[in-house]
Structure 1
Amino acid sequence: MIKRITIISASIALGCLATVGPVLTSLYVAKKEVERRDRAEILDFAGKAIMRTDVVTSQAFAALADLDRHPGAPCSPPSLEQAARVIYNYRYVQDAGAYAEGQYLCSPLLGDVRAKDLTLPRPDYQSSDGYIVWFRQKSPLSDERSDIQIGRSGHYVSIDRASYVDLIDPARRPIAAIQTTTGTLIAVSTGADPDDMLDAWKHGGNVKSDEWNYAVAQSSTRQLAVVVKSPRSSVAGTWPKLLAAWLSFGVTAGAMLGWFAYKRISWQLSFPATLEWAISRRKIDVVYQPIVRIADNECVGVEALLRWTLHGQPVSPEVFVRVAEENHLIQALTDLVLEKTVAQLGQFLAENPTFYVSINVSSEDLRSLRFLNVLRSSLAGTGIAPRQIRIEATERSFMDADTTRDVIAAFRAAGHPVYIDDFGTGYSSLSYLQTFQIDVLKIDKSFVDTIAQDTASSVVAPHIIAMAHELRLEIVAEGVESASQVAWLLDKGVQYVQGWYYAKAMSEDALVTWLASRNRAPRQAEGVLAI
């Protein structure tokens, strides 16, 4: 009898374990996933915050450089006029003027105060290259506010400390900016605990807390860091209800969870094989998004893009392209794009020698001449000129610099212009642009979206445009959706755009029809001439 009860009890225990086990496992996984997402989100926000500190500080240094370029006599009308111009041109600069021997001399806001004996305290920090800094300097104009004041060669600029932490954040996460050489807290958002933020910085964000996550981001160019604090998301508070519900459903709930997990895992395991089948059977489609020259509103070319419908549902290119890269299918996918492009638009390209198609190439095909050889073979005898097939590569494709540089040079030597796609979102820098011979920069949609907006990333597009002009590169702006964006880009000297404002990506037949309709329609009917 005791043995039978023991067996029954063990069976019941195993049944309960089989039922509750998936629940507990899923709760554990959910908790870890919440923690991972929390961490990723706070790190992303810290990256945006450090970008703001770099922008604010860069403006201060640029303002001082502008003052130094007009050396005139201190406090003379021309020097005061230049200081006023600096205050107007740099949005984060609150005041700019002259000082000497530890005293204010003048500024457009203070006027000429040489006779007023306005003494400056000893600076809080002096850099090796001659900059001096007061981290909390009260202006003679106000007893309430203290600014960051930076000086060099007899000129100074004042920056509102709040500029370093004044980010648009619906979550209102506490932010602090810190000068890392001295460990000085130079700015902190409203409601944040300065001691708490400094302690988090000293520990690299590794602070044990059941309530808060911390992240620290370090500037790559300045002695600055930011600390961001965000409340932890809680799954634990819902555990009792979830556990009770799952126990109520019992075996049925466990079976449903097992079925879902089985279907999910089966789909994931089979997805690369399905993608390989789709590539080999030519089941993936190529569509074309127009690229328009702003100056005359003419469509000069298109970008070839991928579309895949699986079981009646569209699969995101971001998903299946990544799977192709991870499973060594990306070269076959790129070959398929080229094959369909030549088959669908070959005659049109041969009849319109100024029209072109740009094709995205993976990092694998920038490490060898394989795709260039395929390209040469595919174009032979078609009447398509090499310049009509252009190569687009993302910034991360340039990481293997030595090999990539030679392959890029080979594409250009063969007559294929080379574009950097989604510039500003990857790992490249000005040094890459200076060492690689390329033809065009494409500004990512995320930066085009912020044009003329007061956001931390709204300064990126103007900087990219200025960089491209300096290097004599042409520019294509992606994701253009409004006439105001077109007007702004035209004013900044951007030559080409693509986006839904002109047309979505379309099939080859729709493209030819669309181009024909544009040729028949008056030019002022759309685009920049209608702005």
Structure 2
Amino acid sequence: MKKIIAVALFSTLLVILSLIAVNAVITAQQKNKQLEISQTLLRYSEALSQSVALGLKSIPFQGCDKRSLDNYRKSKLDSVYFADIGYIENGKVTCTAFWGKLSVPVALPPEQHQTDNGFTLVQFSQKDFFTGNAAIYNNVIIFTSRYAYDKFTPVTASYSLTSTTKDFGRTFFSVSPEREQRSWLQSSLFTLSVTQCSDKWDICVEVKHHDAGLASLSAVMFVLLSAFLFFIWIALSLFSLRLYEDRSSLERRLVRAVKNNTISVNYQPIIRVRDKHIVGVEVLSRWRDNNHMNVSPELFIPLIKKIGLYKTYYHNMIKKSLAEIGPLAIKYQLLISLNVGRTEIEDGDFITILRRNCLLNNLPLSLIKIELSEGAVSNAGVLEEFCEELKCAGAKISIDDFGVQHSNLARLSHLQYDEIKIDKSLVDGISEAYKQDIFVIFSDALSRLHKTLVFEGVESEIQFNFIAERYPEALIQGWYFSKSLALSELEKMLATSAH
């Protein structure tokens, strides 16, 4: 029950994080649209300001005489942006193109905004005269048409549009969507604002999207999206938990298998090409777990290293394999190949353990072949000393997996060894015509070292015949002749081939 609750809480957290991510993606896309709207609104506001400024500066006659009023009326008719044009005396509007000469002059609003361009901005709120914005220059006043921004009304269903002075002290235009038109989900988290200001005029525009991100989805879509994400994260969380539990359980059973020495040994025959005779076997560890059936060595050997039992494991493998295969090796004079890695080379106990177990099973060290990677340790001196000690003990040495990773012909000249095992990746190239030349060049170069060549991973007749024709004294191993065998299976094969 605790696991279910933990998975549910963890999945809920991931759903929230996923929704935040989805919200960010949607918002980023919507912001591009807002930038387009704000740029359009800013250009329009700049054009309006330009028109008003030119209108104020281009009026040649000022006053309230007939000539001036006619001039005001003409300018008003020439621009759709102008609601009216008038003249100011002593801080009061005394006449306009629309009203003519006012019997009672209208005082200017007390709050006035001075721009860097020398204009004065005011806002009237007198219903019986004018409601809206106006600009003043040299006693001439232009009242901006209240319909100047009507072209932007269609985009206000989801957006609030505002055009103001840069200090936001004077608003030229402002419109917001009606409350009932807004989304079911209202929050500052889902309100996206974009502000842009003019370089030339005292103008800034702001575009707010009140339904940004997830709020732009319908309630049904939001619920479906949340349910889908919750399902996905629940499934992934349960799967990850199962993998973790399986791995932890696998590690616990592997610990018991190593300590109880229940990891078994298989033997892969090594065949001489010339007469197809079994001349040796490679020792391979196998683990059949009750819950996981056969577990690959590529999985359980790294796990053994991770849990710190590798030294115990390889001690057990040497003891078990030599005890099992010893009698057959003596009877058929088989070379027993043991794989070693960095731990065996560097820990200083390997050769002592090998000698002890050979004595216990009456096995001469001349029937032991140690397979090692010449790149198993970074310190060349350690590897050279290890090889020299093995040779002095009478064991044979094979350079394993040659052709991959650290393969280095120059480094081989400093090592004592008897054979080179050519990696399966190169042998696979025999089946592909364009790779055969590479294989031959590589193998010919190694054959000149006058060491025994062993070709790994021979799986087809084509590969065998190709090798047999060019390297009849070589050895091979692979599924073409036999997979790795249990001791009883190997014994039957040896008995059959002896007759």
- Bucket of the pairwise TM-score, normalised by the shorter protein: 0.5 to 0.7
Q: Which of 318, 325, 335 matches 2:315?
A: 335
> Which amino acid letter does the alignment assign opposite residue 330 of structure 2?
A
Output aligned runs, 1:293-312, within 5 Å: 293-310=272-289, 311-312=291-292
Does the CA-based 8 Å contact 1:474-1:495 persist in structure 2? yes
Does the CA-based 8 Å contact 2:402-2:421 persist in structure 1? yes
Query: Alpha-carbon deviation of 1:247?
Result: 2.7
Output aligned runs, 1:350-361, within 5 Å: 350-352=330-332, 354-361=333-340
Q: Counterpart of 1:413?
A: 392
Residues 1:323 and 2:303 are matched in the alignment: yes
Q: Counterpart of 1:482?
A: 460
Does the CA-based 8 Å contact 1:284-1:308 persist in structure 2? yes
Query: Alpha-carbon deviation of 1:401?
Result: 0.9
Q: Counterpart of 2:495?
A: 516
Distance 1:477 1:252, change over 3 A: same
CA distance in 2, matches of 1:477, 1:244: 62
Q: Which of 323, 342, 367 matches 1:363?
A: 342
Q: Counterpart of 2:13?
A: 18
Distance 1:318 1:19, change over 3 A: closer
Q: Greater CA deviation, 249-258 or 297-306? A: 249-258
Distance 1:385 1:453, change over 3 A: same
Does the CA-based 8 Å contact 1:395-1:426 persist in structure 2? no
Distance 1:433 1:255, change over 3 A: same
Query: Alpha-carbon deviation of 1:349?
Result: 2.1
Q: SS in structure 2 opposite 1:451?
A: helix
Does the CA-based 8 Å contact 1:330-1:362 persist in structure 2? no
Distance 1:435 1:483, change over 3 A: same
Any unmatched runs of 5+ in structure 2? 1-8, 23-221
Distance 1:507 1:244, change over 3 A: farther
Does the CA-based 8 Å contact 1:448-1:478 persist in structure 2? yes
Q: Counterpart of 1:433?
A: 412
CA distance in 2, matches of 1:388, 1:460: 33
Q: Counterpart of 2:329?
A: 349
- Residues 278-307 of structure 1: per-residue CA shift (max 9 Å, x gap): 111222111011001011111001111121
Q: Which of 258, 261, 283 matches 1:279?
A: 258
> Which amino acid letter does the alignment assign opposite residue 494 of structure 2?
L
Query: Alpha-carbon deviation of 1:461?
Result: 2.8
Does the CA-based 8 Å contact 2:12-2:230 persist in structure 1? no
Does the CA-based 8 Å contact 1:393-1:421 persist in structure 2? yes
Does the CA-based 8 Å contact 1:349-1:355 persist in structure 2? yes
Any unmatched runs of 5+ in structure 1? 1-13, 28-242, 521-531
Does the CA-based 8 Å contact 1:289-1:303 persist in structure 2? yes
Q: SS in structure 2 opposite 1:464?
A: helix
CA distance in 2, matches of 1:269, 1:454: 46
- Residues 254-299 of structure 1: per-residue CA shift (max 9 Å, x gap): 4443322222223334544432221112221110110010111110
> Which amino acid letter does the alignment assign opposite residue 423 of structure 1?
F
Distance 1:259 1:470, change over 3 A: same
CA distance in 2, matches of 1:402, 1:18: 54
Does the CA-based 8 Å contact 2:374-2:412 persist in structure 1? no
> Which amino acid letter does the alignment assign opposite residue 461 of structure 1?
F
Does the CA-based 8 Å contact 1:18-1:254 persist in structure 2? no
Does the CA-based 8 Å contact 1:345-1:508 persist in structure 2? yes
CA distance in 2, matches of 1:418, 1:245: 65
Distance 1:337 1:247, change over 3 A: same
Q: Which of 432, 438, 446 matches 1:468?
A: 446
Q: SS in structure 2 opposite 1:359?
A: strand
Residues 1:451 and 2:446 are matched in the alignment: no
Query: Alpha-carbon deviation of 1:436?
Result: 1.0
Q: Counterpart of 1:492?
A: 470
Distance 1:376 1:251, change over 3 A: same
Distance 1:17 1:490, change over 3 A: same
TM-score (norm 1): 0.50
- Residues 394-437 of structure 1: per-residue CA shift (max 9 Å, x gap): 24314321111101111111111111111111213111111111
- Residues 203-238 of structure 1: per-residue CA shift (max 9 Å, x gap): xxxxxxxxxxxxxxxxxxxxxxxxxxxxxxxxxxxx
CA distance in 2, matches of 1:356, 1:344: 14
Q: Greater CA deviation, 476-485 or 457-466? A: 457-466
Query: Alpha-carbon deviation of 1:330?
Result: 2.6
Distance 1:323 1:15, change over 3 A: closer
Q: Which of 474, 482, 485 matches 1:503?
A: 482
Q: Counterpart of 2:76?
A: none
Which protein has the larger Cα radius of gyration, Structure 1 or Structure 2? 2
CA distance in 2, matches of 1:350, 1:15: 61
Q: Which of 243, 258, 264 matches 1:264?
A: 243
> Which amino acid letter does the alignment assign opposite residue 445 of structure 2?
M
Q: SS in structure 2 opposite 1:345?
A: helix
Query: Alpha-carbon deviation of 1:359?
Result: 0.8
Q: Counterpart of 1:387?
A: 366
Among the aligned pairs, what percent are the same residue?
28
Q: SS in structure 1 opposite 2:401?
A: strand
Does the CA-based 8 Å contact 2:18-2:229 persist in structure 1? no
> Which amino acid letter does the alignment assign opposite residue 274 of structure 1?
R
Output aligned runs, 1:196-207, within 5 Å: none
> Which amino acid letter does the alignment assign opposite residue 491 of structure 1?
E
Does the CA-based 8 Å contact 2:268-2:483 persist in structure 1? yes
Query: Alpha-carbon deviation of 1:505?
Result: 0.7
CA distance in 2, matches of 1:20, 1:282: 46
Q: Counterpart of 2:100?
A: none
Does the CA-based 8 Å contact 2:11-2:233 persist in structure 1? no
Q: Which of 361, 368, 375 matches 1:396?
A: 375
CA distance in 1, matches of 2:223, 2:264: 48
